[in-house]
Chain A
Amino acid sequence: MKKAQVSVPFQWMYVLIAGAVILMLFITFVSRQKDSSEKQLSIEVTQKLNNIFTLTAQSTKTFNPQRMSPAELHFSCDKDDVSQYWIGKGSPESIETIAVFASSRIPIEKQLDTWTWPFDMPFSVMNVMFLSSPTITTFVVYDDEPFSETIRTKMQEDFPGEFNVIDIEIDDFTNERGYSLSTPLVRMIYLTDIQQLPPRIQRMPDQNVLAVRIGSERTATYYKKQGNQLIEDEAVAIIQTLDDPNPAFYGVFFSQNAEFYQCTMRKIFKRMSLLAGLYEARADEMKREYLRNNQRECELLVDPDLFRQLKQMIDSCDGGQSCLGQIERASEHISQRSAIISNQGCATLW
């Protein structure tokens, strides 16, 4: 073989190798850039959500539609009280000190709806947050019974009109009269007995349908969709707050299931227990101050034991109807005592 014949294939090989190296570099560069921008977007959205959760949790009685990039928001809250949220396949962020009532999955097209309401029992415990999105249609299914009417009237007074809620009579709902359905997720709140599912909802994937039946203002039962029907899942007991609206009641509407609801309620009770301990110590401090100032009447009226008992009740409560009733009565007692103390010109208990 001549020298020229050797050098030509060598040049081609060289060009090929150099080209492959350059191509590899470009591919690596582009894929790294793609990974990093996806990670950055996830961090940015997570950071924005963190701010939303922290700042919204401080502003009470407000409905806030938050503009967001399309994403799928996931929540978990389990029996071990591990409470987290994450976006798409992003890493989870803890929300163990924020009470959030939400479904396990919220698809966001451009808006996340947040509504906050204070949980006072009788002292201010925390602001409870309700999350939804226009991609979730909520049907409030009613009949002509007085209970349905009472709850609907309350909801009309309390619920922000901006939520994607359809108030519908059971026959119209079952026969698909007077509404259209285009959202990927559906939530049904039955204020009546559950009947057959509408055909369109029957055809939806099971995990995209949430259902809860409100038995009374103190009990609710969650259902799971299995094929064409709803199967009873688990019931929850609802605590009554001293003031209306009761965030623990509306929390049932927004929660994925009984486990989610009870987990969020445990977060509220944990904070309430810490605060009861704090108010017990504060009441002790108040007694000492009144003694120093020689205000015997006020000193006698202040009773730290009320908070100690409340704390014990909260710590030993399993979420059942009877212990929730005890907590309600203890809170009511503290509220009444505080009003008496206040009328005597002394400082309130909280």
Chain B
Amino acid sequence: MVKGQVQMTETIGIVIVFSILIVFALLFFSRIQQNSADQQRTLVAGEKAVSISFSALFLPELECSKIGSDDIKDCIDVLKLTPAADVINENPQYYFKLFGYSTISIEEIYPVQDPTHTWVLYSRTRDSQPPTEFTQRARTPIPVALYNPVTGDYAFGVMTIDAY
């Protein structure tokens, strides 16, 4: 082989190795970027779920009366549940800005535990399909007191917020 050909082969070899190294570096860098973006997305989704939970828990549409006391917390007025669900259904755009893609439901646990004592207040998924057990979600269950102001009865329930 002539000396010039050897030099040319060396040069091509160096260019190939150099290109491979650059491709590896780019792949490595993009993987790191991807990972940090995924982590950020998970963090944001978690924070979003917490903020939806807060919005739902302190919703005036559900809260027990505060007359005479500022300390009634985690209490839901059962007489408001059906009207609240109606108002939310009639104004989907407004409440979407509050709850985004989530499902908010309230279930009575004690003394009665049956399907008639479960209220789905709001539900909106990303694909507009009803959520299945495979739908990815961040679930926040919150124990609440269910108060009937007419009878004065209290029940124990759970408010479940699924953020999609």
The chain A residues found within 8 Å of chain B, CB to CB, are: 3, 7, 14, 18, 25, 29, 36, 40, 43, 47, 50-51, 54-55, 58, 60, 94, 96-97, 123-126, 270-271, 274-275, 277-279, 281-282, 285-286, 289-290, 293, 298, 338, 342, 346-348, 350
Since A43-B44, A47-B47, A270-B94 are in contact, a sample of 9 more A-B pairs with Cβ atoms closer than 8 Å, ordered by chain A residue number, is A58-B54, A58-B57, A278-B87, A281-B86, A281-B87, A285-B83, A289-B150, A338-B67, A347-B79
Bound-state CA distance A97–B51 (Å) is 14
Q: At the interface, yes or no: B35 with Cβ under 8 Å from chain A? A: no
A-B residue pairs in contact (CB < 8 Å), sample of 27: A29-B29, A51-B50, A54-B54, A55-B51, A55-B54, A96-B94, A97-B97, A124-B63, A124-B66, A270-B94, A274-B61, A275-B60, A278-B80, A281-B83, A282-B79, A282-B80, A285-B82, A285-B83, A286-B79, A289-B79, A290-B150, A293-B150, A298-B150, A338-B67, A347-B149, A348-B67, A350-B65
Q: At the interface, yes or no: B55 with Cβ under 8 Å from chain A? A: yes
CB-CB < 8 A to B79: which residues of A?
282, 285-286, 289, 347
CB-CB < 8 A to B22: which residues of A?
25
A97 touches B98 (CB 8 A): yes
Bound-state CA distance A338–B94 (Å) is 29
CB-CB < 8 A to B7: which residues of A?
7
B82 touches A281 (CB 8 A): yes
Bound-state CA distance A290–B80 (Å) is 15
Please, which residue of chain B has its CB at the minimum distance from the CB of A339? B67
Taking the closest CB of chain B, its distance from the CB of A249, in whole angstroms, is 21
If A55-B51, A96-B97 touch, does A347 touch B67 (CB 8 Å cutoff)? Answer: no
The chain B residues found within 8 Å of chain A, CB to CB, are: 4, 7, 11, 15, 18, 22, 29, 33, 40, 44, 47, 50-51, 54-55, 57-58, 60-61, 63, 65-67, 70, 77, 79-80, 82-84, 86-87, 91, 94, 97-98, 148-151
Bound-state CA distance A285–B54 (Å) is 27
Number of A-B residue pairs, CB cutoff 8 Å, is: 92
Bound-state CA distance A126–B91 (Å) is 17
Q: Which of A124, A286, A347 contacts B60 (CB 8 A)?
A: A124
Please, which residue of chain B has its CB at the minimum distance from the CB of A47? B44
A348 touches B33 (CB 8 A): no
Bound-state CA distance A139–B77 (Å) is 44
Q: Which of B33, B58, B77 contacts A36 (CB 8 A)?
A: B33
A123 touches B58 (CB 8 A): no
B22, B97, B148, most chain A CB atoms within 10 A: B97
B51 touches A278 (CB 8 A): no
If A3-B4, A97-B98, A293-B150 touch, does A43 touch B40 (CB 8 Å cutoff)? Answer: yes
A282 touches B91 (CB 8 A): no
Q: Which of B50, B67, B91, B151 contacts A342 (CB 8 A)?
A: B67
B91 touches A274 (CB 8 A): yes
A286 touches B150 (CB 8 A): yes
Taking the closest CB of chain A, its distance from the CB of B60, in whole angstroms, is 5
Taking the closest CB of chain B, its distance from the CB of A179, in whole angstroms, is 37
A289 touches B94 (CB 8 A): no
CB-CB < 8 A to B98: which residues of A?
97
CB-CB < 8 A to A40: which residues of B?
40
